[in-house]
Amino acid sequence: METWGEDYLHRETQAYIQIDTGGLGDFQFGLVSGSIDGYVEDMGTEPRFTFTWEGRDEMHPVSGGGWLRPTGDGEAEGMIKIHRGDRSRLKARQPPQQ
C-alpha cells in the first residue's frame, strides 16, 4: 500500500484481506479493520471485485470502498479508500497453503 508504510501496515497483525465466494469478507491493516460487502463486475476483458466496507480506525467508525482485480498466480491488485479520507493502491496475494 503506497499511502501507509510497512511499519504501520503490520502494526497489530499481519495485514490481510479475506473475501468469500458470496462477496463478503473482512480486512485489517494497521489500526484499520472492517467488513467487506461486494460483487464481481465485468470491466471489459477483466472481471473486477468492487466493494464497500465499514469498520474502525483506532476505535472510530469509518467506511469506504474499493476494488480488486486478479493479476494471476494467486495475486490481485486494487485500491481501497476511506470515506472523506486517504486512498491507496494495494497488492494482495494468497498465503501459501499449509
Which range among 4-8, 26-30, 93-97 shows the weakest confidence by mean pLDDT? 4-8
Question: Exposed, middle or buried, 68 (CB in 10 Å: 0-12/13-18/19+)?
Answer: buried
Question: What is the number of residues in the chain?
Answer: 98
Among 91, 80, 11, residue whose Cα is nearest residue 50: 80
More confident: 13 or 39: 39
Query: What integer pLDDT is reported at residue 96 of this predicted model?
Result: 79
Query: What integer pLDDT is reported at residue 45 of this predicted model?
Result: 83
Query: How far apart (Å, rounded) are the C-alpha atoms in residues 84 and 77?
Result: 22
Q: Which residues fall within 8 angstroms of residue 53, CB to CB, at 6 or more apart?
A: 27, 34, 35, 36, 37, 63, 64, 65, 66, 80
Would the pTM of this model clear 0.75, i.e. be above it?
A: yes
More confident: 94 or 34: 34
